[in-house]
Amino acid sequence: MLLKFIFLWSTFFLAQTSFLFAQKQGQALIDSLIVELPKAKPDTNKVKLLNMLSYNYSGIDSRETMSYASQALELATNLKWNKGIATALLNTEPYYVRQRENDSAIANLLKALHIAEKEKEWRIVCQIKIYLIWVYPPSAYTTSRALCEEVLALSKQKNDKFFEASALWGIGSLYYTLSDFAKALEFFQKANKVAEETNDAHLIQSTFTNIAAVFFFYDVPKAIQNYKSAAAICEQYGYVQDLAFIYGNLSLLYTDGMNFELGVEYNKKSLALFERLDEKPGMAAAYGNIGYTYIGMQDYVQALQFTQKALDLSKYLPPAQTVDNLIDMARIYTEAPPAALQAIGVTAGEAHKKAIDYGSRAVELGKKGTALTQLSDAYKYLSLANQKQGNHEQALVNFKEYITVRDSSFNLSKKTEITRRDMQFEFDKKQLSDSIQNAEMKKAEGLKLQRQRTYTYTSFAGIGLLLLLLFVIFRVYQKKKKSNALLLKTLEELTAAQQQLIKSEKMAAFGSLATRLAHEIQNPLNFVNNFSDLSTDLVNEILNSDKQEDKADAAQQLIANLDKINHHGKRAESFIKQLLKHGRDGTAHEYLGDS
């Protein structure tokens, strides 16, 4: 079955993110931008916000990508701001590519390129050239390769890792279209290594996806590993559209590996995302893949339902995928057992006619230019349908066509196998070269380390002699210093004793002061406490007494008590003020002694 999902998507980000949002990516960045948008005045800053939103939706929802790009283009045109116009035209590319409108994408990109070159905006120029590599047809290989080399040279001149990775990706994708998978893998891996230095999640995810696309045909475990690395980034940053394609590719890998449960699981995940985005090409491909998986599970009822949905959306698919779906329909009506045909609602004779119809349509469309393996399968199932219908003569004719095309396909497969082996050889050779290089590096490092050790040992010997000389000088100095040290020690001991004596005297004086201070303050405090307790009793008496005379008498006594509390409080206050004054003058001890 033809691969319906190989994903070499153009997902590289024009460096237009402002410093304010530099640490955010994916949905988190979109949320921040949407918050800022209503606050923006209709000036160049708003154009920047709209363009940033347009780009960041490119891996999430191409409809939003186009919506914000259109708004940015309109405002930038009104402002006559060429840089904003060029960026907005550039941002329409992902939408047109996903809608398979490459001519519109190319037209807008060429307009943007003319403006960007005139304005000398080298970053935008590089981005446009990378996008053009993606949308130009394979026949424009020479032009596309020249664009890659221009971006690569400029990125190295400017020391820009982002565009260096983008250019390497572009070269890898060109080799991929030529089926030179060894070279494609080499450049995709170089792009991935450089992309890791940029910390740009979208860029890193793209390189993982493209590496997986190369391994798809030759090393399934590595393909799955790289797709899952890309999927993890998409899930973290909310790149929904990219994730839908990756899930689709994973579903095919699991289905071809006979792990139908995981095949269905990833197919349905992919379909759910495409339906959420209302992206018809993706939905059509997902329906076809699910139908193909159910054929492998021999669930022909489910297979028919999903494959028919794929055919209903054929206008959104390239002819090769439609041929695939027609072949699957022929297989269903040819292979389905009587119970399945009954569940579908057709007789055996009707099923044979439908199989012939779908097989004939697949052959007719396949002859217009598709993979030989597809045309071979179309003849195979058409021949089987003729045989089941009893038309053995026509079955033989189609079987001969099947053999002829199959042999051609077999020769092609042998070439593909040779390519695969060449690729593996190149890959192994590169690993061996890396191993040899690493061994040579280790050897060089060993020699360098040996030289360093020799230098270190020599240095240590010189330092040892110097230390010995210093030790002799030090011993002579120590002898001269010894007598002075004894005298100094005695002096220090006497000084310490004097300081201890002074400290003891100070502590004794402090204790005396504290005792006298407590005595002087305690008396007025006792009066205050006693009169406070009495005042409390008087207040309770006022509150609890029913006689007005008793209340009045208690109130008079309370007033008198409060006067006494005030008197003794002022007495304590006066004492403290006097103490503070003498403390400042340094006569507190004499003051307390006199009192």
Single-letter code of the amino acid located at 176: Y
Low-confidence ranges of the chain (pLDDT < 50): 1-24, 412-421, 423-425, 427, 431
Cα distance between residue 581 and residue 305, in whole Å: 103
In angstroms, the Cα distances linking 382 to 3, 177, 198, 330, 397 are 22, 31, 53, 7, 10
Single-letter code of the amino acid located at 135: V
Cα distance between residue 287 and residue 272, in whole Å: 11
Using alpha carbons, select from 71, 69, 108 the residue that is nearest to residue 91: 69
pLDDT of residue 454: 66
Cα distance between residue 259 and residue 133, in whole Å: 36
Q: At what angle do helices 44-56 and 26-36 cross, to 10 degrees?
A: 150
**Which 8-state DSSP code applies to residue 580?**
H
In angstroms, the Cα distances linking 225 to 140, 196, 274 are 32, 17, 23
Q: At 5, phi and psi to the nearest 5?
A: -125, 5
The encoded tokens of residue 255 equal 């289905």
pLDDT of residue 456: 65
In angstroms, the Cα distances linking 146 to 129, 138, 143, 177 are 10, 13, 5, 16
CA angle 567/570/573 to nearest 5° reads 155
Q: At what angle do helices 220-237 and 26-36 cross, to 10 degrees?
A: 20
Asked if 352 contacts 377 with a C-beta cutoff of 8 angstroms, the reply is no
Asked if 51 contacts 87 with a C-beta cutoff of 8 angstroms, the reply is yes
Alpha helix (H) ranges present in 367-391? 372-389
The encoded tokens of residue 535 equal 């005042």
390 — alpha (psi -120 to 50), left (phi > 0) or beta? Answer: left
Residues in the chain: 595
Single-letter code of the amino acid located at 232: A
Using alpha carbons, select from 106, 119, 123 the residue that is nearest to residue 51: 123
Cα distance between residue 292 and residue 326, in whole Å: 11
* pLDDT tens sequence across 441-467: 666 666 666 776 766 666 666 677 777
The encoded tokens of residue 196 equal 């890791």
pLDDT of residue 441: 61
Cα distance between residue 20 and residue 198, in whole Å: 18
Q: At what angle do helices 348-366 and 372-389 cross, to 10 degrees?
A: 150
Using alpha carbons, select from 344, 454, 412, 327 the residue that is nearest to residue 378: 327
